[in-house]
């Protein structure tokens, strides 16, 4: 079996796991790639096939329905997934010959289904080739919801919400941003090295990297010849994979050496370890999570990065106030959310979300925020963040919290941000909403609040500004 054929088979099996068993695409793909030795080219092909096919699911289904002689619900699942894989190659991968896309998809149906089903799959894919030029999506000008949903492959309910908030042009830009492969960004571990030293070591391993968009310790990988776990810099603990938007959370928390910090929903530990670095590995961080097994990821990262001040504990964040009343100088609530700001990183996520989940998650987030607030000392800092764009989970949670807590107030985040972001609407009031199509970052919401009292934490930071931010404006 050639590398390309093996890549297609792995992609097909991952797609089957995602579509039929609800697996997460990134985790399933990583597991298959670890178990199968593929060269760099085949790994890249398998990755694009999985992410592209899963991301474009509703568009691919629409194309199949236009040319098939039966409704989708009457096509066997294993056949439909092979058709999706084939149509993705025919529509979105011009460098792959049509014959290869069709033949290998048909072979997959034979291998995992039946010869009769293979004949049907062959007929559908041949029809797609013949009719491809004549297939036109509904126009966004005439039917914005359906047109944008199909052309840019997002659920209609999601598109409808964004159209009401952003308008047609910006909704299209947002969907386009969600469909672009996200950059791999590394956070330099300043406890052990500098961005320059990290860049040099990575380049020795054949990587190409460049500076981040906003932060000095962020490095963006532009060429990755091997998995990050296999490089010397990873083994030394010189970096952590983390998006810049997530790094900004640590700066807004602004922890100081020697303080006590509570990270209420810490796993897998990216923000926890960043807080420890910003504290110079001095003080105490309590890292909680409701899932005990996920705390092992936090502990593993701390060991690799050389961090010793983090203590992990299984915690239900809704019960925090009972266990740690007034304990922390600073509390971070990275709340469970719909994740609609990071759809580029989670290609299957858009098909697993619903309006009902947004409402339910907003209620859970308010419960957690309310409980975590009781752990903040007078004068201490409370930071709330999500990786979503939805107001119900963001501003409205904070507003509902403040309506019932007159001992907290919003605190401007302007002093903790680089110039290009410090001027954003809302920053002077106490919150920041990052948008993928505007900022070139993951969509994040961050709000900073202070508990009323003497000697408020972080007051010295307001005059000096955040350290470690690049000079970009």
- pLDDT value at 465 more than 60: no
| CATH number, residue 330 | 3.40.50.150
pLDDT at residue 461 in the model:
38
pLDDT at residue 3 in the model:
63
- pLDDT value at 37 more than 70: yes
Question: Please, where are the H alpha helices in 244-288?
Answer: 244-253, 270-278
**Average pLDDT for 181-201:** 96
Nearest residue to 315 (alpha-carbon basis) of 333, 339, 337:
333
Q: What is the edge-to-edge ordering of all strands in the sheet holding 184-188?
A: 208-211, 218-223, 184-188, 239-241
Q: Which two tokens stand for residue 240?
A: 């952590």
The answer to the question of residue 470 being in a domain is no
| CATH number, residue 228 | 3.30.70.1170
Nearest residue to 337 (alpha-carbon basis) of 274, 275, 380, 396:
396
Whether 173 and 76 share a structural domain: no
pLDDT at residue 469 in the model:
32
- Domain termination site, one of 126, 157, 179: 179
CA geometry: angle 436, 247, 356, nearest 5 deg: 50
The answer to the question of residue 328 being in a domain is yes
- pLDDT value at 140 more than 70: yes
Whether 216 and 290 share a structural domain: no
Whether 364 and 395 share a structural domain: yes
**Average pLDDT for 133-138:** 89
The answer to the question of residue 471 being in a domain is no
Whether 426 and 288 share a structural domain: yes
Whether 313 and 258 share a structural domain: yes
pLDDT above 90 covers a percentage of the chain that reads: 85
Terminal-to-terminal C-alpha distance of the chain: 51
Residue 84 makes CB contacts below 8 A (sequence gap 6+) with: 15, 53, 57, 60, 61, 64
Higher pLDDT among residues 30 and 114, named by residue: 30
Whether 296 and 393 share a structural domain: yes
Name the pLDDT band for 61 (thresholds 50, 70, 90): very high
pLDDT at residue 40 in the model:
84
pLDDT at residue 463 in the model:
30
Q: To the nearest whole number, what is the mean pLDDT of the chain?
A: 92
pLDDT at residue 419 in the model:
79
| Count of residues making up the chain | 473
Name the pLDDT band for 451 (thresholds 50, 70, 90): very high
Measured torsion, CA atoms of residues 116, 119, 125, 129, in degrees rounded to the nearest 10: -160
pLDDT at residue 195 in the model:
97
Whether 188 and 249 share a structural domain: no
Q: Do 456 and 256 touch, CB atoms closer than 8 A?
A: no
Whether 173 and 262 share a structural domain: no
Q: How many CB atoms lie within 10 A of CB 268?
A: 15
pLDDT at residue 116 in the model:
83
pLDDT at residue 376 in the model:
98
pLDDT at residue 470 in the model:
32
Location of structure tokens 């500004």: 465
Q: Do 350 and 343 touch, CB atoms closer than 8 A?
A: yes
Give catalytic residues, as residue numbers.
Answer: 387
Whether 188 and 175 share a structural domain: no
Domain ranges, residue 192: 184-241
- pLDDT value at 155 more than 50: yes
The answer to the question of residue 139 being in a domain is no
Whether 308 and 388 share a structural domain: yes
d(CA 229, CA 155): 35
d(CA 415, CA 67): 57
Whether 270 and 384 share a structural domain: yes
**Average pLDDT for 76-92:** 95
- pLDDT value at 457 more than 70: no
- pLDDT value at 34 more than 90: no
The answer to the question of residue 472 being in a domain is no
């Amino acid at each position: 079996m050639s590398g390309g054929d093996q890549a297609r088979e792995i992609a097909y099996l991952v797609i089957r796991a995602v579509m039929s068993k609800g697996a997460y695409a990134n985790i399933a793909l990583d597991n298959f790639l670890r178990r199968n030795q593929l060269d760099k080219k085949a790994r890249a092909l398998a990755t694009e096939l999985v992410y592209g096919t899963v991301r474009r699911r509703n568009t691919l289904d629409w194309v199949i329905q236009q040319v098939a002689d039966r409704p989708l619900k009457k096509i066997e699942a294993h056949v439909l997934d092979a058709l999706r894989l084939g149509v993705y190659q025919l529509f979105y991968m011009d460098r792959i010959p049509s014959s290869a896309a069709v033949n290998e998809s048909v072979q997959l149906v034979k291998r995992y289904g039946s010869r009769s089903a293979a004949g049907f799959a062959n007929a559908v894919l041949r029809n797609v080739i013949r009719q491809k030029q004549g297939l036109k999506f509904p126009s966004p000008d005439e039917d914005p919801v359906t047109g944008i949903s199909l052309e840019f492959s997002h659920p209609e309910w999601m598109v409808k919400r964004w159209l009401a908030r952003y308008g047609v042009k910006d909704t299209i830009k947002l969907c386009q941003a969600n469909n672009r492969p996200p950059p791999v960004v590394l956070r330099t571990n300043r406890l052990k090295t500098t961005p320059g030293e990290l860049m040099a070591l990575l380049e020795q391993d054949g990587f190409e990297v460049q500076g981040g968009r906003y932060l000095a310790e962020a490095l963006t990988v532009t060429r990755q010849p091997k998995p990050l776990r296999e490089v010397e810099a990873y083994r030394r603990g010189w970096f952590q994979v983390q998006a810049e938007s997530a790094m900004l959370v640590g700066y807004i928390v602004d922890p100081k050496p020697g303080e006590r910090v509570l990270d209420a929903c810490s796993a897998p530990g990216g923000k926890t370890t960043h807080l420890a670095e910003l504290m110079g590995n001095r003080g105490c961080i309590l890292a909680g999570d409701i899932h005990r097994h996920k705390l092992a990821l936090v502990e593993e990262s701390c060991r690799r990065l050389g961090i010793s001040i983090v203590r992990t504990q299984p915690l239900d964040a809704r019960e925090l106030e009972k266990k740690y009343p007034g304990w922390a100088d600073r509390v971070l609530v990275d709340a469970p959310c719909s994740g609609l700001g990071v759809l580029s990183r989670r290609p299957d996520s858009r098909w697993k979300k619903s309006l009902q989940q947004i409402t339910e998650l907003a209620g859970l987030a308010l419960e957690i925020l309310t409980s975590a607030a009781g752990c903040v000392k007078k004068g201490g800092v409370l930071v709330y963040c999500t990786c979503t764009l939805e107001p119900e989970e963001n501003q409205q949670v904070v507003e509902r919290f403040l309506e019932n807590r007159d001992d907290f107030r919003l605190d401007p985040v302007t002093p903790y941000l680089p110039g290009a972001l410090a001027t954003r609407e809302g920053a002077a009031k106490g919150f920041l909403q990052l948008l993928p199509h505007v900022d070139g970052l993951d969509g994040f919401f961050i709000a900073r609040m202070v508990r009323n009292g003497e000697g408020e934490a972080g007051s010295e930071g307001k005059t000096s500004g955040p350290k470690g931010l690049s000079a970009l404006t």
